[in-house]
Chains A and B, each alone.
Chain A
Amino acid sequence: MALELLPEFFLFLGIDFFVAVALLCSIMDYFRRSVAYLFEAAAVFGYVNLLMSQQFLYFFSEYMRFAYSFLYLALALAGIVGINFYLVISKRAWSTAKLFAGTVTLPTVLISVFFFSLYVRDTSYTLTAAFLSSAIVLGTAIAFLANPDKFKDWLGKEVNK
């Protein structure tokens, strides 16, 4: 029997992402101490949100529950993408940014899209996301491999080696 996803699953997913990012930020040199705690606080906020959603399960409509759950997940994803940009633009940490994009940003976005497609019961979202992601990764990889310095210059940044 297929398990139906509740809208709160996106809250749960967002909490996991915030927790993972908080742990990563706590061991990476690029961030202040407070950043990790900030993400952890966001995860705790998500947990409180989940508790409230459980208490008011029969008062909130499904659309409303989906709206605030998905918004929370979007915030978590925005935080992850933001870290990626921070690493690239502010810290010029290209290698770390690439590693972060490949191991954290892309998988989290794909996982989110996958579960969103499960929730709406439409696999076209998954396929579209997979094709788009593959195209972006391929394009970025080619650009880096072909002429990394030119690509960095195109971004208008000095290479901080």
Chain B
Amino acid sequence: MINRRWLDFLIILLISMFVVSASAAVYYGMLLPSSATVKVAPVHFIAGNDSSGILSLGTNQTYAMLTLDAYPNVTLYYDQAVNITASADKAIRLRPISISPNNDPSVSNFTSVVFRLIRADMAEVGVLSYTTNGNMWNVPASTSSVPITSGETWAIKIEITATPGALSGVSTNIVIALDVT
């Protein structure tokens, strides 16, 4: 009888150990939900030497809007339209999002819009070249990711070329993402 009781005790003890440890593990797992903490962006935009009057930075400098000019039969260069600075070692690339209008007669007023990613040592590490083909824009592929070191400041150089006899008042809107990984 005593042996039977201790056998029961042993069986219940084994089951108990499993139940308690497993339920503790499940509860501990529930205590670890995913969380998101707002931090300062490690890569953000700053004004460059040619940004005066054309650059509008968004909140926290994670968004930049450029209002650029173009002249008929002229290529206009903005060597430092906007700069990029990093506070941590990251990799960045330029990725086309949208261009508008497209498939429109106004497109034929432009020849090209080129965005060049210029490293701190002035080396070009990425190009987004939008060219026209009649009424259509040829949208380029994303640039390759390139490492940027903490404390470095890179530039985005922009070249805009309009066709001879381009109409005044014609505009195009280009949206580009700066991917940071």
Contacts and interface: CB of A to CB of B under 8 A. Distances in A.
A binds B: yes
Interface of A: 3, 6, 8-9, 11-12, 15-16, 19, 22-23, 26-27, 33, 36-37, 40, 43-44, 46-47, 50-51, 53-54, 57
Contacts of B15: 40, 43-44
Contact of A23 (B12, B24, B29): B12
A12 B16 contact: no
Instruction: Tell me whether chain B's interface is mostly helix, strand or loop, or mixed.
Output: helix
A30 to B, nearest CB: 12
A9 B31 CA distance: 10
Nearest to A33: B8
A8 B16 contact: no
- The secondary-structure label for the interface of chain A is helix
A19 B172 CA distance: 72
**Of A15, A26, A33, A53, most B-chain CB atoms within 10 Å:** A26
A62 to B, nearest CB: 12
A23 B19 CA distance: 13
Contacts of B22: 47
A36 B23 contact: no
Nearest to B13: A23
Tier of interface size on chain B: 10 to 19
Interface of B: 4-5, 8-9, 12-13, 15-16, 19-20, 22-24, 26-27, 29-31
A50 B4 CA distance: 32
Given A26-B5, A57-B30, A47 B23 contact: yes
A3 to B, nearest CB: 8
Given A9-B27, A23-B12, A40-B12, 10 more contacts: A6-B27, A11-B27, A15-B23, A16-B20, A19-B16, A37-B12, A44-B15, A44-B19, A51-B26, A54-B29
Contacts of A26: 5, 8-9, 12
B12 A12 contact: no
B13 A47 contact: no
